[in-house]
């Protein structure tokens, strides 16, 4: 079954909704307003003005953390650190190079918030990355994740990843040169939904050199899996939004005690977010989100 696409009417309604964001998202904006943060893998269109989660307009300063100075997603112009003003709508900040699952060189508790849009699926060890990201956020800070929904992407033919598999990768300290999913991707990747990948031969060549390009999705997610991975990382879930054509947004607080009454209360509260009655399920946007 091919992914559902967003209609023009749905796109207009989505943008109008951003004029008066839901109260829950307004609280996320308040946590970032005028403050200093870091974005892994950015800049990201979804955080710009008039887009899905317009955080850039309220942020004070935003450093950018990428695995290389130039990636397949970057190009001349807006991503060049020398460009300012209209061509660079994200807030000013440093450009930092490093592994997202390690955040080497970033002192602990350096930032008020962390953003990561369409990054977690590219990382071989998502839980390791979440722990690293929590380490650079101050107590009381927030992490905002945007993850592509399997059902809406070129991964829609692939099986969903399981929480047990992600936990096993964490226990094995899986590194970024992991090729566990390579053959599955070569067999099931829907190239018709990935025009940027080029020809089949070009896609195969790029996929086999993933450590250089980081283009492959090691794991595939639906909304419930994202929530359960965040919960396993020990975060308190504060905001969930699911949007066509392919986005899951989760905002969470990373600094929760590892044991005790507060920890137990947070884990219990988190479970409500993936219950059969959770509000995001009622929108029925993606088949694998239905129960």
DSSP 187-210: HH--GGG-GGG-SHHHHHHHHHTH
Distance in angstroms (rounded) separating the CA atoms of residues 136 and 108: 4
**Within a domain: residue 3?**
no
Please tell me the distance from the alpha carbon of residue 116 to that of residue 121, in angstroms, as a whole number. Answer: 11
- The answer as to whether 176 is a domain residue is yes
- What's the pLDDT tens digit per position in 270-287? 999 999 999 999 999 999
**Residue 17 located in a structural domain:** yes
Tell me: the pLDDT tens digits for 102-122? Answer: 999 999 999 999 999 999 999
Provide the pLDDT for residue 167.
98
CATH code, domain with 73 = 3.40.50.150
- SS3 label, residue 253: strand
Q: Which residue has the higher pLDDT, 214 or 291?
A: 214
The answer on pLDDT for 31 being more than 80 is yes
Residue 238: which of 15, 11, 27 has the closest Cα?
A: 27
> How many domains, in total, are found in the chain?
1
**Distance from C-alpha of 130 to C-alpha of 57, rounded to nearest angstrom:** 25
2 inside domain = no
Let me know: does 283 contact 248? Beta carbons within 8 Å. Answer: no
- Return mean pLDDT, the chain: 90
The verdict on residue 22 lying in a domain is: yes
Which of 72, 116, 98, 104 lies closest to 226, judged by CA? 116
Q: What is the pLDDT of residue 76?
A: 42
Tell me whether residue 201 is in a domain.
yes
Is 119 within the bounds of a domain?
Answer: yes
The size of the chain, in residues, is: 291
Q: Which domain holds residue 188?
A: 8-289
Q: pTM to 2 decimals?
A: 0.90
**pLDDT reported for residue 15:** 64
Q: Which residues are registered as beta bridge partners of 97? A: 66
- Whether residue 63 lies inside any domain: the answer is yes
Question: pLDDT per residue over 141-194, tens digit each?
Answer: 999 999 999 999 999 999 999 999 999 999 999 999 999 999 999 999 999 999
pLDDT band at 13 (very low <50, low <70, confident <90, very high): low
């Amino acid at each position: 079954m091919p992914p559902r696409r967003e209609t023009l009417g749905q796109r207009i309604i989505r943008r109008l909704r951003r004029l008066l964001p839901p109260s829950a998202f307004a609280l996320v904006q308040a946590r970032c307003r005028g403050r200093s943060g870091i974005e892994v893998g950015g800049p990201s269109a979804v955080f710009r003005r008039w887009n899905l989660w317009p955080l850039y307009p309220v942020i004070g300063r935003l450093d950018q953390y990428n695995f290389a100075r130039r990636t397949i997603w970057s190009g001349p112009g807006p991503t060049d650190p020398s460009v300012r003003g209209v061509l660079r709508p994200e807030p000013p900040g440093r450009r930092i190079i490093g592994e997202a699952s390690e955040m080497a060189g970033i002192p602990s508790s350096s930032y008020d918030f962390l953003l990561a849009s369409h990054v977690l699926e590219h990382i071989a060890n998502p839980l390791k990355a979440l722990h690293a990201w929590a380490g650079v956020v101050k107590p009381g800070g927030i992490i905002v994740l945007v993850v592509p929904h399997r059902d809406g992407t070129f991964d829609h033919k692939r099986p969903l990843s399981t929480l047990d598999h992600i936990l096993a990768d964490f226990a094995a300290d899986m590194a970024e040169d992991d090729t566990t999913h390579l053959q599955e991707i070569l067999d099931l990747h829907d190239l018709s939904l990935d025009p940027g990948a080029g020809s089949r031969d070009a896609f195969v060549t790029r996929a086999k050199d993933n450590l250089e390009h980081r283009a492959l999705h090691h794991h595939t997610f639906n909304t419930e899996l994202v929530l359960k991975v965040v919960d396993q990382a020990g975060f308190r879930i504060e905001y969930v939004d699911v949007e066509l054509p392919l986005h899951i947004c989760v905002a969470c607080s990373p600094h929760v005690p590892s044991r005790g009454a507060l920890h137990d209360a947070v884990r219990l509260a988190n479970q409500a977010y993936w219950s059969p009655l959770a509000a995001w399920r009622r929108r029925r946007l993606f088949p694998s989100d239905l129960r």
